[in-house]
């Protein structure tokens, strides 16, 4: 029988989680500035899986931990404190919760266990050239032929597309109606003819995201999630607690610690001008941490996560950018070097966190789009 983690006292659960992450997560996977390949993180994923600790928010009946909101917060806090890598986000925090909320019983039975066992690695096929912020503009078309959809088109910015065994995608299934009304949500395996995955090199030199070309690709009709032409609503399914991860102050705190090390090593720490800017950033990160804490606590007492999620996303991503900007500036010539540099006997990567902090203001709805949402819905400004 599954352990009832919620029956443990919070302090006991916290100690248990801290110990588990600390003992089992390999040192070399911790506090890495960028996302790691599946082949690298898989052993850690499997260690979590064996413990039944892969999916803290999923219900127990679907193999999750079924944690109460308070216990989920503790899990996230201890996970982040350990520096363990975030992985399989599309499977665990996106598709899984969507299937649990909106999928059919057969889809849940077929796919959820394979996410938890690490057998399936899902990638997200939403964006297309000319369909990013204006996602409803997507043109990849799916035509129903018997029991199968035949899909043609192109996806882009598919994170870790080359690691994917499966894709969940938004496709156009009706051109004759309003844009949003003709979109469906389908799932298909990536190991079939007609799929070409081409990595795109980003500013840090990493090849994390991909273009994915789809030519006569097949998705079984039973792998349509929700109704035909009902994909827009599925994609907008509110994922509640899963979104908490993206507002965490973790990356800003890591960058702040690096900034202090670099500044102490090269003497900037003693300068008044630096101290002014550093102190302001410490306050900014504290503000972010307080906002994060407040929203997480309000979720944990059952309140919704409405427009504040836009505010949190903007604050978290822009704070991190400001810290990493000062980090690069203070590091001087070292700030222009890619990879680890030797600073006061320690190897520190200064440039990668700066480069890696660019993307988060774009994905998950760019910060400009978040500002539009706040302007319209909070301030009542014209759209
Ligand atoms: C690191 C990273 C990982 C990603 N992973 C995935 C993935 O796995 N799967 C996937 O499908 N997609 C992924 N994306 C794509 C992401 O969702 C899009 O980049 C995002 O939706 C923005 O779309 P776009 O790049 O086409 O920019 P555009 O929509 O062309 O926007 C360009 C600029 O114009 C601004 N802008 C656009 N419209 C407005 C407006 N109405 N008002 C004000 N400003 C506006 C934007 O804010 C932005 O600054 C990823 C992106 C990044 C950076």
C-beta of 209 in contact with ligand 1 (< 6 A): yes
Where are the domains positioned within the chain?
5-87, 122-230, 247-377
Superfamily the domain 122-230 falls into:
Butyryl-CoA Dehydrogenase, subunit A, domain 2 (2.40.110.10)
So what's the pLDDT on residue 1?
A: 60
Q: Give the number of residues written for the chain.
A: 383
141 is catalytic: no
| Closest by Cα among 332, 328, 334, 315 to 355 | 328
Q: Which atom of ligand 1 is nearest to the CA of 135?
A: 21
Q: What is the pLDDT tens value at each position of the chain, 383 positions in all? A: 678 999 999 999 999 999 999 999 999 999 887 789 999 999 999 999 999 999 998 999 999 999 987 898 889 889 988 999 988 889 998 999 999 999 999 999 999 999 999 999 999 999 999 999 999 999 999 999 999 999 999 999 999 999 999 999 999 999 999 999 999 999 999 999 999 999 999 988 889 999 999 999 999 999 999 999 999 999 887 655 556 667 889 889 989 999 999 999 999 999 999 999 999 999 999 999 999 888 877 776 666 667 888 899 999 999 999 999 999 999 999 999 888 888 888 888 899 899 989 999 998 889 999 899 899 998 999 87
The residue nearest atom 51 of ligand 1, judged by CA position, is: 363
C-beta of 124 in contact with ligand 1 (< 6 A): yes
So what's the pLDDT on residue 251?
A: 87
Coil/strand/helix, residue 65: coil
| Closest by Cα among 288, 212, 198 to 248 | 288
| Closest by Cα among 313, 318, 312 to 290 | 312
| Closest by Cα among 64, 59, 60 to 49 | 64
| Closest by Cα among 130, 121, 256 to 189 | 121
C-beta of 130 in contact with ligand 1 (< 6 A): no
Q: Are strands 166-172 and 209-220 parallel, antiparallel or unpaired?
A: unpaired
Residue with tokens 């302090």: 11
Q: What are phi and psi of 199, to 5 degrees?
A: -65, 150
Best of 133, 155, 355 for a ligand 1 pocket test (most atoms within 8 Å of beta carbon): 133
Angle at 206 between CA 349 and CA 164, to 5 degrees: 125
C-beta of 127 in contact with ligand 1 (< 6 A): yes
What CATH architecture is 247-377?
Answer: Up-down Bundle (1.20)
85 secondary structure, DSSP code:
P
Angstrom distances, CA of residue 301 to CA of 14, 17, 68, 97, 243: 19, 22, 10, 20, 16
Q: What is the pTM of this model?
A: 0.93
Residue 157, C-beta contacts closer than 8 angstroms, at least 6 positions apart: 127, 132, 200, 209, 210, 363
| Closest by Cα among 234, 278, 239 to 255 | 278
- Count Cβ atoms below 10 Å from residue 178 Cβ, excluding itself: 9
Cβ-based burial of 312 (10 A; exposed 0-12, middle 13-18, buried ≥19): buried
The token duo for 276 is 């002014």
| Element holding 269 (H helix, E strand) | none
Distance CA 161, CA 35 (A): 13
So what's the pLDDT on residue 286?
A: 97
Sign of CA pseudo-dihedral 48, 125, 159, 216: positive
Residue with tokens 């409803």: 136
């Amino acid at each position: 029988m599954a352990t009832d983690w919620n029956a443990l006292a919070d302090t006991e659960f916290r100690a248990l989680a801290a110990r588990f992450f600390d003992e089992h997560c390999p040192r070399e996977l911790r506090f890495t500035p960028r996302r790691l390949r599946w082949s690298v993180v898989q052993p850690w994923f499997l260690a979590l899986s064996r413990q039944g600790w892969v999916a803290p928010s999923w219900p127990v009946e679907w193999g999750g931990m079924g944690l109460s909101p308070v216990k989920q917060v503790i899990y996230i806090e201890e996970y982040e404190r350990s520096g363990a890598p975030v992985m399989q986000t599309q499977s665990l925090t996106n598709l899984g919760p969507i299937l649990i909320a909106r999928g059919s019983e057969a889809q849940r039975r077929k796919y959820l266990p394979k996410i938890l066992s690490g057998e399936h690695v899902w990638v997200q096929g939403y964006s297309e050239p000319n369909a990013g912020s204006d996602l409803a503009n997507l043109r990849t078309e799916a035509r129903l032929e018997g029991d199968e959809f035949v899909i043609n088109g192109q996806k882009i910015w598919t994170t870790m597309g080359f690691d994917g065994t499966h894709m969940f995608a938004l496709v156009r299934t009706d051109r004759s109606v309003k844009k949003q009304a003709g979109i469906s949500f389908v799932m298909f395996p990536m190991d079939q003819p007609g799929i070409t995955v081409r990595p795109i090199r980003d500013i840090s030199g990493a090849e994390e995201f991909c273009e994915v070309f789809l030519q006569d690709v097949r998705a079984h009709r039973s792998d349509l999630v929700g109704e035909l032409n009902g994909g827009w609503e599925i994609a907008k399914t509110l994922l509640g607690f899963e979104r908490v991860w993206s507002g965490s102050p973790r990356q800003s705190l890591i960058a702040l610690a690096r900034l202090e090390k670099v500044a102490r090593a090269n003497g900037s720490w003693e300068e008044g001008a630096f101290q002014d800017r550093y102190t302001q950033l410490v306050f900014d990160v504290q503000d972010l941490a307080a906002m994060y804490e407040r929203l997480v606590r309000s979720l944990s007492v059952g309140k919704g996560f409405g427009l504040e999620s836009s505010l949190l996303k903007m604050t978290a991503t822009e704070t991190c950018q400001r810290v990493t900007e000062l980090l690069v500036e203070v590091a001087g010539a070292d700030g222009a070097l890619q990879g680890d540099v030797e600073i006061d006997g320690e190897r520190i990567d200064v440039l990668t966190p700066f480069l890696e902090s660019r993307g988060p203001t774009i994905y998950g709805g760019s910060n400009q789009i978040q500002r539009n949402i706040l302007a319209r819905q909070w301030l009542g400004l014209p759209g």
